[in-house]
Amino acid sequence: MTQPAAAEPVAPPPAAAPPAAAPAPAAAVAPDPTTAAEPEPASEPASEPTPAVPVATTTKPPTAKQKPPAPAQPVPVYKHVPFDIGLVPGLSINGRHEGKRVRNNFSIGFGWTRAPRVDGIAVGLGATVVDEQMQGIAASLGANINRGIHRGIQFTHGYNYAAELRGVQHGAINRANTVRGLQVGLINIGGHVRGAQIGLINWAKSADASFALLPVTREGGIRFEVSTSDTALLNVGLRLPARYTYVFTGVGIHPFGTERGRTGTNLERGKAWEMGGGFGGHIPVNDEVFIDIDLSGWAVTSGLRAGAKFGGMSKARLMVGWQAARRIAIFGGPTLNVLVDRAAGDVVPLEGSAGVKVGRIERPGYGWVAYTRELDDLRIRVWPGFVGGMRF
């Protein structure tokens, strides 16, 4: 007898699975041309392209500080006349080109010459005149005048002038509004001098270096100073500074002696007047610290009485200073002193002045001498010293 087949177990219905994630797009495969199907039409029409929104741009208005560019200056056109000779400008080769801007390479005038521009040499017995600019040498007996830029040398026995000098002026009187170079003469007048002035009297608004008996700059002014040293207990003086040089003068007194003389206090050893001055160089280390080095000469008396004998003293000083304020400076340092007088004790009248006498004098100040030597009728004494003071 055949047994009935066992019924198969029925599986429970599967739980609802979460929706599967969209599969990643497969790599594009080239369709088989034999089985390629017709493309299905798009279910929805393509959307209209979004119009571009214009972006507003802002342009900054010109500020008050912004200036329009300067218009280009026209290049001057010159009539080239290589050689000019004549008596005066109207009676010369340049005079044939009246109304034109003439440029010369060589110009000579028996009276005076004139040209807008010279690149070379201009010589005039009376004067040379350049209206615009010159590069070269201007020489005359009377005057050289350049109303523009002079690059080179101006030489005369009289007067030199340049609106702007880039070179050398040599004459009795030299003047330039701006100097980059050197002025040499009896009187030198400059605006801003980037260089040096050498003369008897110098004046400038500002100057790097000024060598003269009376050098005055508006920037440096006139400074008053008071000091003490081993040769004068009190010294007062004036200083005329340029940027890197200075001239100074002063008078000092040492009222105390080291030994009483035979006829009273006027002959006490060490008492003295000193009068003199010198020239020095100024080295700024920074805005507050500086170094001064100078040489000076002094006339020194032996005692304080009228008619005292004179000797000559030279000083070399090395000073370090501190600019404590705009108009106050403190300075000090070592000195080297050389005193020259007569080896003999007799009083000898100074040549050219019967009232001034030279002779054997005492060492001014505190009395110590490091070295003494006699040469014929001269006695030389050398010693180190000190100086300290304040400048206003």
Residues 389, 208: Cα–Cα separation, whole Å: 25
In the chain, where the domains are located: 79-217, 223-391
Q: Which pLDDT belongs to residue 104?
A: 92
Name the 3-class secondary structure at 97.
helix
Torsion of CA 74, 75, 76, 79, to 10 degrees: -130
Q: pLDDT digits over 282-322, tens only?
A: 999 999 999 999 999 999 998 888 778 889 999 999 999 99
Average pLDDT along the chain? 82
Residue pair 337/384 in contact (Cβ under 8 Å)? The answer is yes
pLDDT at residue 144 greater than cutoff 80:
yes
Residues 305, 263: Cα–Cα separation, whole Å: 12
Mean pLDDT of 3-9: 43
Residue 257: pLDDT band with limits 50, 70, 90 = confident
Mean pLDDT of 136-140: 96
Q: b/e per residue, 275-310, with b = 16+ CB within 10 A?
A: bbbbbbebeeeeeeebebebebebebbbbbeeebbb
Higher pLDDT, 162 or 72: 162
Residue 72: pLDDT band with limits 50, 70, 90 = low
Residue 20: pLDDT band with limits 50, 70, 90 = very low
| Least confident piece of the model among 53-57, 131-135, 324-328, 373-377 | 53-57
pLDDT at residue 227 greater than cutoff 90:
yes
> Which residues, including other chains, have CB under 8 Å from residue 256's CB and lie 6 or more apart?
233, 268, 270, 271
Q: Which pLDDT belongs to residue 5?
A: 43
Q: pLDDT digits over 174-202, tens only?
A: 999 999 999 999 999 999 999 999 999 99
Q: In sequence order, what are the beta bridge partners of 320? A: 291, 332
Token reading at 170: 């040599």
| Least confident piece of the model among 118-122, 137-141, 349-353 | 349-353
Tell me how many degrees the CA angle 180-183-185 measures, rounded to the nearest 5. 175
pLDDT at residue 73 greater than cutoff 60:
yes
Mean pLDDT of 98-110: 88
Q: Which pLDDT belongs to residue 14?
A: 46
Q: Which pLDDT belongs to residue 348?
A: 53
Q: In sequence order, what are the beta bridge partners of 299? A: 275, 312
Q: pLDDT digits over 324-358, tens only?
A: 998 899 999 999 999 998 877 655 555 554 555 67
pLDDT at residue 26 greater than cutoff 60:
no
CATH architecture of 223-391: Beta Barrel (2.40)
Give the Å distances, CA to CA, from 355 to 309, 310, 349, 358. Answer: 10, 11, 7, 10
pLDDT at residue 265 greater than cutoff 80:
no
Residue 81: pLDDT band with limits 50, 70, 90 = confident
pLDDT at residue 387 greater than cutoff 70:
yes
Q: b/e per residue, 316-349, with b = 16+ CB within 10 A?
A: ebebebebeeeeebebbeebebebbbbeeeeeee
Q: pLDDT digits over 41-60, tens only?
A: 444 444 444 554 444 444 55
pTM, two decimals, is: 0.72
Burial of residue 103 (number of CB atoms within 10 Å: 0-12, 13-18, 19+): buried
